[in-house]
Amino acid sequence: MMKERVIFVTNDDGYSAKGFAAAIEVARRFGKVIAVAPEVVQSGKSQAITIYDMLRARLISQSEDVTIYALNGTPVDCVKFALDHLLADQKVDLAISGVNHGPNSGSNVLYSGTMGAAIESSFYGIPSIGLSNLDDNSDADFTACIEYGVAIAQRVLESDLPRPLALNVNIPKLPTEQIKGIKVCRQTRGFWRDHFHKHTDPHGRDYYWLTGGFVNFEPEAEESDEWALANGYVAVVPVQVDLTAYNQLDILRRTL
Amino acid sequence: MMKERVIFVTNDDGYSAKGFAAAIEVARRFGKVIAVAPEVVQSGKSQAITIYDMLRARLISQSEDVTIYALNGTPVDCVKFALDHLLADQKVDLAISGVNHGPNSGSNVLYSGTMGAAIESSFYGIPSIGLSNLDDNSDADFTACIEYGVAIAQRVLESDLPRPLALNVNIPKLPTEQIKGIKVCRQTRGFWRDHFHKHTDPHGRDYYWLTGGFVNFEPEAEESDEWALANGYVAVVPVQVDLTAYNQLDILRRTL
């Protein structure tokens, strides 16, 4: 008999998020699920780790198929706690991070806790899928996310893709039947530009709220993930972990 | 008369760190310094941003040449506060992040708050230099960091390097005269492997400390930054902000 697969699940919205339940629903189709998610929302935490604080783990629920822990750390802390501690002696077949409430397309990938965890998981040689729903509502509909999540996970598990493998998968805010299919893309060029909203507290002291929006430098680029999403496709971008700008090496060698 | 340059400085160890004073010393050789650094240590914060908390800024000191603010946020919050708010209407000529107390070579670049801020600064079209001292002692000697920081900043300012430009510069823990020079490198292949040290509090509840070490997959690779540092060179890795794994696009298009 084939040994049952082990699937690791995490997210950045915290263990009680609706999208986390959706990711577990994807994962349990393929094997036994071990899930470790942050106690509280960790959106925008990128690949942050906790160095100067202690971490506490709490068992949320346990059944034959699904075990869930909450950890008072970042998404990457959850990955490390799962893969270097809880599951250190086990083969893990797949990692799923999400489903995030809100997009992680374009340069969002750099700030995303969901993708921080997906990238971190890929360091362990485990194929890793970050799933994000363009609908950031806490009660968003995850039907299409589950359907496409299952399809992509199935193909990743059945193929022998190169490692490290970390896929940034974004799903449009559309009913499943209106989605045109999967498009493998590159990260859209563009950056966030931000505003600081100044408020004053009752004691007369100023404080700020950081807000902003993504500025797309190439809205017409059909190979970009933003274009795919705007045109009704599920966007899949493979993410790399070697940040070297190879095309700048020569000019830097001549300059420095 | 030439308009005086404006240099932005930040770090991840907080505004009171010795390495921050070293970065300001580098910056003031080239122009007027506007510095915004975290109130408290933000090591390992990667490119994290603050979404659900307010931010407060505090003027630490102001002179004709150097203005320093502390912000109760992450390194990237400091960059955004400086470049989208304080300096939104000014041309900024150079960004310096650091000098970090401890290395940011190899895959550390992914977790580093110092490099998170350097990468973020590069999004504004400003050439950006992250400086890290391999000595992580709070009272480390920054003499070599200042000397090499000045040399690199000078060459960056005098040349017309491509943008976005974010340099990950690591300086060996050696007296300046023993350093062999600058080596432009690629990021070393390897990842951290971690341990969770379990402790028990006086109330009988378990908690953990995350520790670990970098596992170098290619210690003999002379083009890698870890090799350069181990052999007495200042290592410079240009960092890219497009995380697309282009070499995986074809196989993914066939698979998904």
pLDDT tens digits in sequence order for chain A, 256 residues long: 567 999 999 999 999 999 999 999 999 999 999 999 999 999 999 999 999 999 999 999 999 999 999 999 999 999 999 999 999 999 999 999 999 999 999 999 999 999 999 999 999 999 999 999 999 999 999 999 999 999 999 999 999 999 999 999 999 999 999 999 999 999 999 999 999 999 999 999 999 999 999 999 999 999 999 999 999 999 999 999 999 999 999 999 999 9
Q: Using CB atoms, which residue from B162, B196, B246 is nearest to A84?
A: B196
Whole-number pLDDT of residue A134: 98
Quote the domain boundaries for residue B244.
6-186+219-255
- Residue A1 domain-assigned? no
Q: Rounded to an integer, what distance in angstroms lies between the CA atom of residue A89 and that of residue A233?
A: 39
Mean pLDDT in residue range B158-169: 96
Q: What is the DSSP letter of B86?
A: I
- Residue B172 domain-assigned? yes
B57: Cβ contacts below 8 Å, ≥ 6 apart? A206, A208, B36, B69, B70, B71, B81
A43 touches chain B (CB under 8 A): yes
* Helical H segments across B40-162, by residue range: 75-81, 113-122, 143-158
Q: What is the DSSP string of B211-228?
A: EEEEEES-TT-TTBHHHH
* Helical H segments across A71-112, by residue range: 75-81
- Residue A213 domain-assigned? no
pLDDT band at B2 (very low <50, low <70, confident <90, very high): low
B188: Cβ contacts below 8 Å, ≥ 6 apart? B105, B106, B107, B216, B217, B218, B221, B224, B225, B226, B227
Tens digit of pLDDT for each residue in B217-237?
A: 999 999 999 999 999 999 999
Place of tokens 């805010």: A173
B121 touches chain A (CB under 8 A): no
Nearest chain A residue to B158 by CA: give it: A255
B213 burial level (CB within 10 Å; 0-12, 13-18, 19+) = exposed
- Residue A202 domain-assigned? no
Mean pLDDT in residue range B31-35: 98
A14 touches chain B (CB under 8 A): no
A174 touches chain B (CB under 8 A): no
Q: Which of B130, B111, B79, B213 is nearest to A117 (CA)?
A: B111
* Contact status, residue A111 vs residue B48, Cβ threshold 8 Å: yes
How far apart, in Å, are the Cα atoms of B52 and each of A18, A41, A43?
19, 9, 9
What does the block give as tokens for B62? 């102001």
Nearest chain A residue to B186 by CA: give it: A244
B162 touches chain A (CB under 8 A): yes
- Residue B19 domain-assigned? yes
Q: What is the DSSP letter of B244?
A: B
Whole-number pLDDT of residue A244: 97
* CATH classification at residue A29: 3.40.1210.10
* Contact status, residue A222 vs residue A242, Cβ threshold 8 Å: no
What does the block give as tokens for B146? 């200042």
| Average of per-residue pLDDT values in chain B | 96
Q: Name residues 233-252 of chain A within 8 A of B (Cβ).
A: 236-249, 251-252
B133: Cβ contacts below 8 Å, ≥ 6 apart? B19, B98, B99, B100, B101, B102, B140, B142, B145, B171, B173
Mean pLDDT in residue range B11-27: 98
Whole-number pLDDT of residue A3: 74
Q: Cβ of A111 and B209 within 8 Å?
A: no
- Residue B211 domain-assigned? no
Number of domains chain A contains: 1
* Contact status, residue A237 vs residue A109, Cβ threshold 8 Å: yes
**C-alpha distance across the termini of chain B, in Å:** 60
Q: Which of B233, B75, B76, B121 is nearest to B169 (CA)?
A: B233
- Considering the entire predicted model, what is its pTM? 0.96
- Residue B195 domain-assigned? no
Q: Rounded to an integer, what distance in angstroms lies between the CA atom of residue B247 and that of residue A146?
A: 28
Neighbour-count burial for A97-112, b at 16+ CB within 10 Å, e otherwise: bbbbbbbbbbbbbbbb
Place of tokens 């002696």: A89
Helix, strand or coil, per DSSP, at residue A48: coil
List the Cα angle B126/B129/B133 in 5-degree steps: 165
Tens digit of pLDDT for each residue in B70-84?
A: 999 999 999 999 999
Q: Rounded to an integer, what distance in angstroms lies between the CA atom of residue B10 and that of residue B69?
A: 10
Strands of the A182-184 sheet, one edge to the other:
A57-62, A66-71, A32-38, A6-10, A94-101, A128-133, A166-171, A234-238, A182-184
Q: Rounded to an integer, what distance in angstroms lies between the CA atom of residue B21 and that of residue A221?
A: 44
Question: Which residues, listed in sequence order, are joined to residue B59 by a DSSP beta bridge?
Answer: B69
Mean pLDDT in residue range B120-137: 97
* Residues of chain B with C-beta less than 8 angstroms from the C-beta of A239: 243-245
- Residue B39 domain-assigned? yes
- Long-range CB pairs of B54-58, under 8 A, 24+ apart, other chains included: B54/A199, B54/A207, B54/A208, B54/A209, B55/A196, B55/A207, B55/A208, B55/A209, B55/A210, B55/B81, B56/A205, B56/A206, B56/A207, B56/A208, B57/A206, B57/A208, B57/B81
Q: Cβ of A41 and B54 within 8 Å?
A: no
Whole-number pLDDT of residue B3: 74
Q: Which of A71, A70, A77 is nearest to A49 (CA)?
A: A77
Whole-number pLDDT of residue A2: 62
The dihedral built from the CA positions of residue B98, B100, B105 and B110, taken in this order, carries a sign that is: negative
